[in-house]
Homo-oligomer: A and B are copies of this chain.
Amino acid sequence: MAEPILFYFDFTSPYSYLASERIDALADRFGRKVQWRPVLLGGIFKALGTVSLVKQSGQAEYSVRDFARSARFLGVPYVPPANFPVSTVAPARAYYWLHGQDCSLARRFAHEVFRAYFAAGRDIADAAVVLELAIKVGADGTALAAGMSDPAIKDRLRAETDAAIEQGVFGAPWIVVDNEPFWGADRLPQIERWLETGGF
């Protein structure tokens, strides 16, 4: 059986959100599974000494325009967040804790967080909001609140981010299909061709 597709993302990355709305259905058409792995882009940028596209000189205005246009192009609901980017430590920790309990719950939670931030104006940096979203998709809020401050979960998120850096991830979304890395939601058509053809 083929290895799962790896989907590295940060909950505050607009192009990650766009990819998150398409990657499972795309993989499914080719009988493939996707492993979702939130990481902290801030940690990656710090390790590499880089900055996000949106913070590079001259690029902010274009980026904001391209986020919204790319969402319209893909038919994904998108309302530019008032605070951008935000810390995603809380939802990423919650994701890994939930994933340890029930991976389909974790997937529903991840969609809920992305949509709350990029379409419904919620503050996903706020642990209380994260708990509310998790409860909405079926999580046990009390257990999750404890889980999010478990040192093992904090370590897990750090370890996933470090592993991503080691594998060459420098931005998000970062999607790996059979060892072939693809950076950006705009590489979805290439990923589709790769899955169709087994590499081109």
CB < 8 Å neighbour of A183 from B66, B168, B193 = B66
- Interface residue A28 (Cβ < 8 Å from any Cβ of B): no
Give chain A interface residues in 136-187, CB to chain B under 8 Å.
168, 170, 181, 183-184, 186-187
- A57 part of interface (Cβ distance < 8 Å): yes
Instruction: Give the size range of A's interface with the partner.
Output: 20 to 34
Bound together, the chains give a CA A190 to CA B69 distance in angstroms of: 9
Asked if A200 is at the interface of the complex by the 8 Å CB criterion, the answer is: yes
Q: Please pick, from B57, B69, B170, the residue contacting A49 in the complex, using a CB distance under 8 A.
A: B57
Q: Do A170 and B73 touch (CB < 8 A)?
A: no
Q: What CA separation (Å) do A121 and B8 show in the bound complex?
A: 36
Q: Mark A55-96, 1 if CB is under 8 A from B, else 0.
A: 011110110011001101100000000000000000000000
